[in-house]
Structure 1
Amino acid sequence: MHAISAALRPEQRDVIRHSHERSATFGLFEAMRPDYAVLSGAALAVKLDESRALFAHALPVMESLYAQIANTHSMIALTDAGGLILHSLGDDDFLARAEKVALRAGAVWSEAHQGTNAIGTTIAECNAVTVHGDQHYLRANRFLTCSSVPILDPHGNLSGVLDVTGDRRGYHQHTMALVKMSGQMIENRLIASAFGDGLRIHFHSRPEFIGTLMEGIAVFDLDGRLLCANRSAQFQLGLELGALRSQTLESLFGARADVLIASAGEAPCRLELHSGVVVFANVDFHGRASSAVISRAPVREPTTSKLADLCTGDAQMNDIVARVRKVIGKNIPILIGGETGAGKEMLARAIHGDSPRRAGPFVAVNCASLPETLIESELFGYTPGAFTGAAKRGAIGKIAQANGGTLFLDEIGDMPLAMQSRLLRVLQERVVEPLGAARAVPVDFTLVCASNRKLRERVAQGEFREDLYYRINGLSVTLPPLAARTDLRAVVDKLLRQERFAGRVVSIGEDVLALFARHPWPGNFRQLSNVLRTASAMLDDHDTHIRVEHLPHDFVDELGECAQPETAPASAGGARLSDIEASAVAAALRTHGGNVSATARALGISRTTLYRKLRV
């Protein structure tokens, strides 16, 4: 067994050492060729179906995470509880290298197969693990650096692993923080999906943390029995999930279900935990209460318009919202166009929130991200035994789940033609027939579709059914790209208030806003949100102001590529990029007392680059 770096903290060394010991007991040796057996086709489809909830809720989070680490010679992988990779995405250059060690969908990365590695060791330890370079047991894997976190289901059982793997030379300390945040997002989405009905309490001792990843989420039934609590809730309540299940709403929060149901949707209330700690809480209630509870908890109309929240000063958005309002509740399908990340799902959710069906479910389906082998069962559902590997109880499809609410079909332009025919029948007859079923099931929902493709062109190319196009195209609106909007300051301020990046409300300076105004924003809102999140993560503990030096380096590099020549005058939004960079570098140099090495480390650049920027 090779030596383990002394630079690791004692607990990290213990994790790696124990993993190496387990690897040896599995009969592995350092120089051996790893097990490259890979599932594919029907066998992989069965495994995907077994982890359908995990896959569905992890996919959008993975896409968001990838936007933050793109062009870092790395990839993201999602595995099941046994270490089988269900899905991966990443930079093309690194994916080609990863293929050589079977780091792709269908491969198993448990310790028994691959020795010490972040995925397998995370499964063994049921804890977040980073395995860097030579810490891997097998030599074949030592060109990698990997950071993994376990994803627990709402019952506290291991559901899978989220992993970021890259070239060891590109190791970043903040990668694990991003992976942990993404894992928490997935777990919270799984809770929301598993307990659609019930009383949900979102709480924290500091009100500004409600709505962030720092908040605790506890779900109770109408009798006040605890159903589920996320990790933050367990930490704040001082009890693990197993112990919490014996507790009640009154024993934990000192409140009755009927009283909290009556306050659902209102401003945050104050509750006192069993420990005596006062917390602030938002209360959500979904489902049907008993007549006794209903009499004490009348249904309230929404106090604010979700669509109005989208109007932040841009004339194009104001016009879109005005047009949409005229068709809400009139059984007219809405087709939303626009670039990827322009806010199509945000608009769809606002439409649902202002519609007469707002008390019903909002079901979103990304037609582009579903494998063709799963899209039929995902949309239409199936009966027990409908196909080999089907779940014993069958499954309700997304279309049936949307009954009484809103069905949002994102990227519908990428739906396979065979599925388009089946969807057309559903929309015409308002019935859905699950796979293997003897009869169809009536459905009633509002339809909202979206696509970043020009559907008319797809129709002309024979890749999208013309009759389906006219069926979904009741009202058509196209969202403007972020770079074309005139309300960038308002958009940024709103994101900073709502998201509370880094767990606190932060602000940006005019120099940063000037850079934002000059950027083309090819990733639109997703890119803006990720830039703000990453910049916020770079802030010191008590700092709340984002400056140029906090921006991701690849973002600043993109600006440099788009920057005007040095002889160009300052833009209307502020100084030249080179002037702003030089000013930021000089400020950082003053902060570190003129120490060039310390300044370069703080900015994450080489000393050569630092000198070059000072000479500009």
Structure 2
Amino acid sequence: MSAGIHTRPDEGRVGAAPAGASPNPDLIGQSHRRSQAYGITAQAEPDFSSPSRGVLNDALDENRFLFQHAAPVMETLYDQIVNTHSMVLLTSARGMVLHSLGDTDFLEKASRVALTPGMDWSEQTKGTNAIGTALTEEEALTVHGNQHYLNANKFLTCSAAPIFDPYGQVIGALDVTGDHRSFHQHTLALVRMSAQMIENHMFADIFPKAIRIHFHTRSEFLGTLVEGIAVFSPEGRFISANRSGQFQIGLPFAALKAHTFSSLFGIPISALFELFSGAMPNPKQLVLHNGVSVWCRVKVKTAHPWSATRPDAPQGQQAFTAETGQGVAAHAPAKPPVKKMQLSSLQYLDTGDPQVSSVIHKLRMVSGKDIPVMILGETGTGKDLLAQAIHGDSDRSGQPFVSVNCASIPETLIESELFGYEEGAFTGARKKGAIGKILQAHGGTLFLDEIGDMPKHLQARLLRVLQERRVSPLGAGKEVDVDVAVVCATHKNIKDMIARGDFREDLYYRLNGLVVRLPALRERTDFELVVRKILKALCENGEQIGISPEVMNIFKRYHWPGNFRQLHNLMRTAVVMVGCQGVIELSHLPDDFLEELEHGLPNPIPSRLMGSIGPAQPLPDEPNTAPMPEPAAPEGSRLEDVALNAMAQMLRLHKGNVSAAAKALGVSRNTIYRKKDLLPPDVL
């Protein structure tokens, strides 16, 4: 496949870019030329001079909006790449690392090249690298092995995507970095999708009085990452659009600024309100200015009436918001939210497993009794979902549910995040200060996820808040009464932490009024029903997607180290692969999962099942050690043709041994199997 970009004669073949590593290899060459112009030498050692703690704190506070929306997405992304010798990084628009999550075995290597919070990874300081180059080019890309400018970084493979704020400006970058030997061609797609998810989350929060149009040419893609989002003022003036929206409309952000809702969608804004009037309006079709027909939903944000009347709301607190599907709500007075039965209710979660039923029975016994709940369980077992269900079935359900992940917030920020701060409390503090998570949960439920990761020095302060029901924001001279129900969760053994002195015993006994444990997915007796409920939740607009008995049987035998989070992500991908209607087969599952199935199940997958993704006969595992030739790639040929030529050449060289050919190409065997109908018949 494609070789790396070599701008200096001393670069060898080790670490050359695998196929699909970068959407535009010429970007690497341009970046190398910029790096030379900056005066950087390839032999330069990594700069370990970290900035002062105050500088990092200022950067974190300056990028608070980005961090709040990126942190949960980073966790989901990390769950998908865990145990791949990799780490996930979030940076500012200038390339400073703000936050990282990583495999412990890779963190030591990362520290050798200054891949830690506070370090600058712009092109001006590190030369060609995925973070700096993605920020400069404003384009998602991979920099692999020898494509890095500094020799010290050539053991890395890095995939980064810029993150755009709702005003079309680059606000930061998301990156996955790992050992160059663990390169996977799907990593860049995961990073790009995660960056888009962050952008869409920011859209939902930044325009409190705006009208949001969610649209796509296919109705089944509404509510997904690929939907377009366009934001307008109540008068119809264009405010913003996400990247998918710009693509579907066919105009860049700068050109869209001159437009209105009417000029883009062909009807006046008043007609939109009439079209979407009603309690639960279904998606409607509109025609864009370019003649493209799209399905649309309308969302308007209105303030909760109680947020403006709370007598104890601290100064500087912003109104909380809730979404409504009614376009007329922009002109109608806000109404109190109607309590609805949520999918996360305790009743919905009780799917027949005896252990789960016992947990739910205990929770119902203490509901409304002001008894704190501690949820134990492995990562991904649904502790957050159970916490929301506890809140949803309580008499506090009409009030806020505020979740704090103690593991995802940097230690330097968690105090201000929890307790809030007054104006001038520290360098870089925002005007009018900021309300903390505890006060945001006033009247409702505070969920402290991964409580075992709370810094020791804050445990005493949290204990005091729980005992006295009063909180003092940083820099404030007074305390504020607060009324919250507390639910916490952890996958750690708190009693062991107490024995080591890492967790306060008095705080533990304050939090564990009722301790419940959620079973791992592999331990549940209701597995099949759980799978079908997830599938039903993922299928919208009347989709009828089934799951084959063979796939269900394999799911039951798999150990699910990522539990529900892993299952949900896998099912979501499979649903997209199947389309609107059909049955999930093995061919719809991700390559890495299929490879793990071949080697990790107690019994091998029957050859008849593997027929949809590869040959029925077992393949030889003895790799051929012949050198890899350079694949022919005539100028102007399509990337697909180059890939097929390379596959054919490798298969001929290895006498049809798919395993050896795949290893030489740096791809999975299933990648070759999926292309078998396009390959010459003599190579298989």
| Counterpart-to-counterpart distance in 2, 1:443 and 1:260 | 43
5 Å-filtered alignment, 1:337-352, equals: 337-352=376-391
Q: CA RMSD in A?
A: 4.2
| Counterpart-to-counterpart distance in 2, 1:354 and 1:175 | 39
| Counterpart-to-counterpart distance in 2, 1:335 and 1:226 | 47
| Counterpart-to-counterpart distance in 2, 1:117 and 1:226 | 36
Specify the SS of the correspondent of 2:195: helix
Measured against aligned partners, the alpha-carbon deviations of 1:393-451 in whole angstroms (never above 9, x if no partner) come to 53222222233543211122332343233223333443321111122234344432222
1:2 aligns with 2:8: yes
Give 1:512 shift.
2.5
Q: Which amino acid aligns with 1:91?
A: D
Task: Name the residue aligned to 1:177.
Answer: 189
| Counterpart-to-counterpart distance in 2, 1:484 and 1:454 | 19
Task: Name the residue aligned to 1:272.
Answer: 286
Task: Name the residue aligned to 1:547.
Answer: 586
1:430 aligns with 2:469: yes
Give 1:560 shift.
3.7
Specify the SS of the correspondent of 2:614: helix
Measured against aligned partners, the alpha-carbon deviations of 1:512-562 in whole angstroms (never above 9, x if no partner) come to 222221223232112223444566788899986330784544675477456
1:421 aligns with 2:460: yes
Task: Name the residue aligned to 1:68.
Answer: 80
5 Å-filtered alignment, 1:119-138, equals: 119-138=131-150
Task: Name the residue aligned to 1:409.
Answer: 448
Alignment partner of 2:344 out of 300, 306, 322: 306
Alignment partner of 1:481 out of 517, 520, 535: 520
Task: Name the residue aligned to 1:372.
Answer: 411
Measured against aligned partners, the alpha-carbon deviations of 1:360-418 in whole angstroms (never above 9, x if no partner) come to 44321111233332221111111222123434553222222233543211122332343
| Counterpart-to-counterpart distance in 2, 1:162 and 1:433 | 34
Alignment partner of 1:494 out of 533, 543, 546: 533
| Counterpart-to-counterpart distance in 1, 2:301 and 2:398 | 10
Alignment partner of 1:518 out of 557, 569, 572: 557
* Contact 2:597–2:605 (8 Å) recurs in 1: no
Alignment partner of 1:580 out of 596, 603, 606: 606
1:447 aligns with 2:479: no
Task: Name the residue aligned to 2:242.
Answer: 230
Structure 2: give runs of 5+ residues left out of the alignment. Answer: 1-6, 306-327, 618-646, 674-684
Task: Name the residue aligned to 1:188.
Answer: 200
5 Å-filtered alignment, 1:42-53, equals: 42-53=54-65
| Counterpart-to-counterpart distance in 2, 1:500 and 1:131 | 36
Alignment partner of 2:297 out of 276, 281, 285: 281
Q: 1:202 to 1:442 in 2, by over 3 A?
A: farther
| Counterpart-to-counterpart distance in 2, 1:117 and 1:349 | 41
* Contact 1:68–1:531 (8 Å) recurs in 2: no
| Counterpart-to-counterpart distance in 1, 2:8 and 2:539 | 44
Measured against aligned partners, the alpha-carbon deviations of 1:306-337 in whole angstroms (never above 9, x if no partner) come to 31443444344345445545655665543322
* Contact 2:228–2:244 (8 Å) recurs in 1: yes
| Counterpart-to-counterpart distance in 2, 1:316 and 1:142 | 50
Alignment partner of 1:112 out of 124, 139, 142: 124
| Counterpart-to-counterpart distance in 2, 1:267 and 1:325 | 35
Task: Name the residue aligned to 1:572.
Answer: none
| Counterpart-to-counterpart distance in 2, 1:282 and 1:325 | 37
| Counterpart-to-counterpart distance in 2, 1:10 and 1:412 | 40
Q: Which amino acid aligns with 1:17?
A: G
| Counterpart-to-counterpart distance in 1, 2:551 and 2:662 | 19
Q: Which amino acid aligns with 1:411?
A: E
Task: Name the residue aligned to 1:168.
Answer: 180
| Counterpart-to-counterpart distance in 2, 1:484 and 1:197 | 47
Task: Name the residue aligned to 2:225.
Answer: 213
Q: 1:311 to 1:175 in 2, by over 3 A?
A: same
Give 1:358 shift.
4.6
Q: 1:295 to 1:186 in 2, by over 3 A?
A: closer
| Counterpart-to-counterpart distance in 2, 1:352 and 1:535 | 31
Give 1:124 shift.
0.5
What percent of counterpart residues are identical?
48
| Counterpart-to-counterpart distance in 1, 2:569 and 2:58 | 34
| Counterpart-to-counterpart distance in 2, 1:103 and 1:181 | 23
Measured against aligned partners, the alpha-carbon deviations of 1:26-74 in whole angstroms (never above 9, x if no partner) come to 1123333344433364433332233233233323322222222233333
| Counterpart-to-counterpart distance in 2, 1:259 and 1:163 | 44
| Counterpart-to-counterpart distance in 1, 2:497 and 2:394 | 30
Structure 1: give runs of 5+ residues left out of the alignment. Answer: 564-576, 611-616
| Counterpart-to-counterpart distance in 2, 1:326 and 1:450 | 19
Give 1:477 shift.
3.2
| Counterpart-to-counterpart distance in 2, 1:322 and 1:259 | 46
* Contact 1:118–1:129 (8 Å) recurs in 2: yes
Q: Which amino acid aligns with 1:306?
A: S
Q: 1:15 to 1:463 in 2, by over 3 A?
A: closer
Q: Which amino acid aligns with 1:214?
A: V
* Contact 1:519–1:559 (8 Å) recurs in 2: no
